[in-house]
Amino acid sequence: MEIKDLLEQSAEILNLTEGWDRDIYFDISKLAEECGEVAAALNKSRFTDEDLADELADVIVVIGVIALKKHIDLEKAIRNKQVKRVDKLLKKFHDGKRTNPAKRISL
């Protein structure tokens, strides 16, 4: 499922399910809860890789819901941030120069 599909599905749920219209503190607590579940899945041997994958997916869904509520184009935000991140890392680890400046980063 692509992020766009995930967000469309989340929008559908937002319109149908009570609770999703709660304030930002609900979203923050939900995000913290899911991040805590990721940490637990990483730190406790009783969790499987599938459990960890599920918890990582939960974090992404909550982030998607927050983006929807804030009218943020999450795919665009990820692409824009990735360009900035890659530029920063290339500068940091390649002495301020790209190894191949002619090569564009495609996202």
Q: Tokens 């900035």 appear where?
A: 84
Distance of CA 74 to the CA centre of its chain: 8
Least spacing, CB of residue 36 vs Mg ion, in Å: 9
Instruction: Return the C-alpha torsion angle 28, 29, 34, 35, nearest 10.
Output: 70
Least spacing, CB of residue 38 vs Mg ion, in Å: 8
Binding site for Mg ion (CB under 5 A): 34, 37, 55, 58
Residue nearest to Mg ion as judged by C-beta position: 58
- DSSP element (H, E) containing 2: none
Closest CA to 79 of 16, 7, 3, 27: 3
Least spacing, CB of residue 75 vs Mg ion, in Å: 23
